[in-house]
């Protein structure tokens, strides 16, 4: 059994690689829900949807999110009627949010909804939201305290970041199955996702870090920082503002207590000795997931590093 | 000032005629909300939307409801995700329901939402929901007690009708402006809508019948029953089950206490004496609203009957 700690686009692509080398049904993705928020009265779960729809091959590959070929007729009228329009929602995409909201209101849990949706879409990978409880990630910025999506999407990651508040570190509990999946895993992979706001919330949930420290499974991360910059998203300002070096070494340090190894990019090869000095094994390879071949190669590298000795 | 008591499709077409002969801004439509219901967690107001979108010339003229040229991508995915699919919702249409639901949840009243939407869509006619309170119309049938839309749309008006429950007759209050509009009207027109489930709920609200009896304005209806049958919808079984003759005479009797006159179709000319015997004035004309000319003619006939003497 392989468990992947997952954020959004980078994680979804990474999992596409993993399912090429291990049976999809043996894989569990534990997905960040710190980005979840309510808009138009609808519960939106960006990372869950990106992971589910990517694995279902429904995703808009150009954007990395949204449904391929989707229309935006509803959104255009929502804007016309004075609704917020900063978060783009396609018509098919909206069905997911409407249905999720209705099911949650009817008393279903987010885990149940996520499981139902991935089955509807024919995804064999088990998809677990990190928590069934609200656990929003807020960013303290020069514009005040903002939900992550307000900071990232609405304001284009422009405000200066001063800190991060992970409500996952509060009253939220890991979703049913999360701790058990970590305890019974043979390998745990940390996807190349934002360490602060994608993987950070999962690790902040009570018991998760402890389970990762305690598990006998090797834990291997893939650095989302390549050449001192994030491939996508606002990892750099968020790492910087929370006291982390914006580098593969910074990523390794952030995860040092839970990791056995880390995969870093060729351009960061020079950082390997410093990472090894933390007590971690390092694999150096091309981590840019241009297509299926690179995805499978990255997954193989991570699994090989995990299973190469522990 | 002209006030029209309105249901859905028939009323919307009739009001299109009225605005050809009186300034739209001098017209107030008081619209049935007994058909309102919640689906997918969204508040749907069929008659308000039909009236608003018809007057905005956005309506699908073929159907009489929905937005012309709308797509159904969201609906198809809602069905795929296990949501109810018996009530068709276009993508643009859904924006109206999503936005209304969000505004209601934010504390706006249905009146405020209806006014905002008609202004957005450039409708000069004042559109008042009959009530800001929930006032659903239920039908007692051979399949049990059903919401009107469940009876009419979901079950295709197939179950045998045994009775009608108008929650408008309970705790619902007329929306702000409804009683005042009736009190200050120069003419009140009752649109050719279903007397039981479209106009009935408006009349069932506390104070409305009294205001119509008390108003000095002439009150004139247009019969929705032509040749002993409804032009559209389930008026016949509903009138029958509630003890009304399914005829223009039955309509006149149902409204007798509030009416000064009624417009009936040429095919029902023979009923005129019996209606006149109720103390009502009668105009006999072609009431089928095929296009703008017939609509304007019907409106002119109703207004002339109202203003011809009172």
> Of A52, A56, A58, A99, which to mutate for an interface test with B (greatest number of B Cβ within 10 Å)?
A99
Tens digits of residue pLDDT in A8-62: 999 999 999 999 999 999 999 999 999 999 999 999 999 999 999 999 999 999 9
* Same-domain pairing of B12 and B140: yes
* Same-domain pairing of B11 and B135: yes
The total number of structural domains that make up chain A: 1
H/E segment holding residue B261 = strand B261-265
Domain final residue, candidates B94, B126, B158: B126
Please tell me if residue A183 touches chain B, with a CB cutoff of 8 Å.
no
Report helix, strand or coil for B4.
Answer: strand
- Tell me, what's the pLDDT at B231? 86
Q: Does A98 contact B73 at a Cβ distance shorter than 8 Å?
A: no
Q: What is the CATH number of the domain that holds A87?
A: 1.10.8.240
Share of chain A above pLDDT 70, in %: 99
* Same-domain pairing of B112 and B185: no
**In the predicted structure, residue B308 carries a pLDDT above the cut 50:** yes
Asked whether the CA dihedral A43, A48, A52, A57 is positive or negative, the reply is: positive
Average pLDDT, chain A: 96
Distance, CA of A248 to CA of A272 (rounded, Å): 9
**In the predicted structure, residue B309 carries a pLDDT above the cut 80:** no
Looking at beta carbons, which residues of chain A come within 8 Å of B71?
Answer: 71, 73, 91
Q: B94 is in which domain, residue-wise?
A: 36-126
* Same-domain pairing of B11 and B57: no
Q: Does residue A77 fall inside a structural domain?
A: yes
Contact A100, A93 (CB under 8 A): no
**Residues B158-185: b if buried by 16+ CB within 10 A, e if exposed:** ebebeebebbbeeebbbbeebbebbeeb
Asked whether the CA dihedral A146, A257, A276, A186 is positive or negative, the reply is: negative
Contact B40, B221 (CB under 8 A): no
Looking at beta carbons, which residues of chain B come within 8 Å of A73?
Answer: 70-71, 73, 90-92, 95
Q: What is the CATH number of the domain that holds B24?
A: 3.40.50.10680
Tens digits of residue pLDDT in A272-299: 999 999 999 999 999 999 999 999 999 9
Please tell me if residue A155 touches chain B, with a CB cutoff of 8 Å.
no
Tens digits of residue pLDDT in A62-120: 998 999 999 999 999 999 999 999 999 999 999 999 999 999 999 999 999 999 999 99
| Cα dihedral: B199, B201, B203, B207 (round 10) | -150
How far is B94 from chain A, CA to nearest CA, in Å?
Answer: 6
Q: What is the ipTM of this complex?
A: 0.92
A283: β partners: A263
**Residue B2: which of B194, B13, B10, B17 has the closest Cα?**
B17
- Tell me, what's the pLDDT at A205? 98
The neighbour count for residue B106, using CB atoms within 10 Å, is 9
Tens digits of residue pLDDT in B234-287: 999 999 999 999 999 999 999 999 999 999 999 999 999 999 999 999 999 999
* Same-domain pairing of B207 and B142: yes
- Tell me, what's the pLDDT at B232? 85
Name the closest residue on chain B to residue A106, using Cα atoms: B41
Q: Exposed (0-12), middle (13-18) or buried (19+): which is B42, by Cβ within 10 Å?
A: buried
**In the predicted structure, residue A309 carries a pLDDT above the cut 60:** no
Q: Does residue A231 fall inside a structural domain?
A: no
Residue B28 DSSP class: E
H/E segment holding residue A204 = helix A199-204
Q: Does A98 contact B80 at a Cβ distance shorter than 8 Å?
A: no
How far is B68 from chain A, CA to nearest CA, in Å?
Answer: 12
Nearest to A73 among B70, B80, B116 (CB): B70
Contact A287, A222 (CB under 8 A): yes
Distance, CA of A29 to CA of A8 (rounded, Å): 11
Phi-psi region of B122 (alpha: psi -120 to 50; beta: other; left: phi over 0): left
* Same-domain pairing of B133 and B63: no
Tens digits of residue pLDDT in B24-35: 999 999 999 999
Contact B199, B137 (CB under 8 A): no
Please tell me if residue A235 touches chain B, with a CB cutoff of 8 Å.
no
Please tell me if residue B92 touches chain A, with a CB cutoff of 8 Å.
yes
Q: Does residue A273 fall inside a structural domain?
A: no
Q: Does residue A168 fall inside a structural domain?
A: no
* Same-domain pairing of B183 and B308: yes
Tens digits of residue pLDDT in B183-237: 999 999 999 999 999 999 999 999 999 999 999 999 999 999 999 999 888 999 9
Distance, CA of A107 to CA of A293 (rounded, Å): 42
The neighbour count for residue B22, using CB atoms within 10 Å, is 17
- Tell me, what's the pLDDT at B310? 40
Task: Decide which of B118 and B309 is more confident.
Answer: B118
Residue A310 — pLDDT band, cuts 50, 70, 90? very low
* Same-domain pairing of B285 and B190: yes
Residue B170 DSSP class: T
* Same-domain pairing of B208 and B257: yes
Domain final residue, candidates B92, B126, B160: B126
């Amino acid at each position: 059994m392989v468990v992947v700690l997952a954020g959004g686009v980078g994680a979804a692509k990474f999992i596409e690689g993993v399912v090429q080398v291990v049976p999809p049904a043996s894989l569990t993705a534990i997905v960040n829900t710190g980005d979840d928020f309510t808009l138009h009265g609808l519960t939106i779960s960006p990372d869950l949807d990106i992971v589910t729809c990517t694995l279902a091959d429904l995703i808009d590959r150009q954007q990395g999110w949204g449904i391929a070929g989707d229309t935006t007729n509803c959104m255009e009228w929502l804007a016309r009627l004075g609704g917020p329009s900063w978060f783009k929602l396609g018509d098919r995409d909206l069905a997911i949010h409407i249905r999720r909201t209705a099911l949650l209101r009817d008393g279903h849990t987010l885990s149940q909804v996520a499981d139902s949706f991935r089955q509807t879409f024919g995804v064999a990978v088990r998809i677990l939201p990190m928590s069934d409880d609200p656990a929003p990630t807020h960013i303290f910025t020069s514009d005040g305290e903002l939900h992550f999506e307000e900071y990232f999407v609405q304001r284009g990651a422009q405000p200066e970041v001063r800190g991060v508040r992970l409500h996952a570190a509060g009253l939220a509990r890991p979703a049913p199955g999360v701790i058990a999946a970590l305890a019974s895993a043979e390998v745990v992979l940390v996807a190349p996702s934002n360490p602060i706001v994608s993987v950070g919330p999962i690790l902040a949930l009570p018991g998760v870090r402890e389970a990762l420290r305690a598990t006998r499974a090797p834990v291997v991360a893939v650095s989302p920082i390549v050449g001192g910059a994030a491939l996508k998203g606002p990892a750099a300002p968020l790492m910087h503002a929370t006291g982390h070096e914006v580098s593969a070494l910074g990523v390794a340090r952030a995860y040092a207590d839970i990791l056995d190894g880390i995969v870093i990019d060729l351009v960061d090869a020079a950082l390997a000795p410093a990472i090894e000095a933390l007590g971690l094994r390092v694999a150096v390879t091309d981590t840019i997931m241009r297509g299926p071949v690179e995805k499978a190669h990255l997954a193989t590298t991570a699994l090989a590093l995990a299973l190469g000795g522990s």
